[in-house]
Amino acid sequence: MLQENQVKENIATDPIVDNQQPKALRVVASIVSYICHPVFMPLIMAFTLSLLSPVSFAGITPKQQGILLLNVLISAVIFPLFSIALMKPLGFINSFHMRTAKERTIPLMVTMIFYFWLSHVFNSMTAVPVPLILKVLMLGNFWGVIVLFVVNIFTKISMHTAAAGGMLGIIIVLMISSPVNMVIPFFVAMAIAGFIGTARLILGAHQRGDVWLGYLVGIAVQIAAYYYMK
């Protein structure tokens, strides 16, 4: 029975490619995967939103904007990274790559807590006026981790493409809510998202279905968060 379960797990996580891709291509794919790692995407997206939609951040001083970004850095990047760094020596994960769906269970739970806290703080903060688009982003990220946690029970969904989908989703929200033309940023985001998904397939990290499912989840949670917060 144990052997049968192991076979099933291997089938569920077998790569779509056999990693016989050219070394240079795999190096580029690895660089893209590290730079666009899901743990960095909330901060990248929050900073990008401040550039793409300055109207949304109107009335906020540069110092207040810096405080908001610092909150994202600490709660969505540093705390999850620190927690995951402790998990390997404690035996909760076998490697930082977390190659199996089972290994990602506890990191997702921990990240869920930090994202919930950050979303709650932004919704409750009165000293600094938090833009609606930033609240939507953080709520969407929190919902996204919940969905990833549930889907991860059944299949190794791509967290990279879920984050990329979140990037597309929040720009779609800007296209809906902002008077500024977001067509060019949207196509740029689509290209970046495509690079991310391709990189994951080149590295053999996911099946194609898990890559596409990640995109769908990321887009859906951001749009849902917008209509919930609106």
Reported as a single tens digit per residue, the pLDDT across 122-135 is: 999 888 889 999 99
Amino acid present at 74: I
What does the pLDDT read at residue 19? Answer: 58
Torsion, Cα 99 103 106 109, to 10 degrees, reads: 50
Q: Is residue 80 part of a domain?
A: yes
What does the pLDDT read at residue 40? Answer: 95
Q: Is residue 100 part of a domain?
A: yes
Q: Is residue 30 part of a domain?
A: yes
Task: Give the structural domain span for 77.
Answer: 20-229
How many structural domains does the chain have?
1
Environment class of 167 (CB within 10 Å of its CB; exposed 0-12, middle 13-18, buried 19+): buried
Q: Is residue 24 part of a domain?
A: yes
Q: Is residue 147 part of a domain?
A: yes
Environment class of 136 (CB within 10 Å of its CB; exposed 0-12, middle 13-18, buried 19+): buried
Please report the beta strands in the chain, taking only residues with DSSP state E, as ranges in sequence order.
none
**Which sign, positive or negative, has the C-alpha torsion 9, 16, 144, 71?**
positive
Q: Which residues of the chain have pLDDT under 50?
A: 1-18
What does the pLDDT read at residue 127? Answer: 80
Q: Is residue 7 part of a domain?
A: no
Q: Is residue 177 part of a domain?
A: yes
Q: Is residue 5 part of a domain?
A: no
Cα 120 from Cα 138, distance rounded (Å): 9
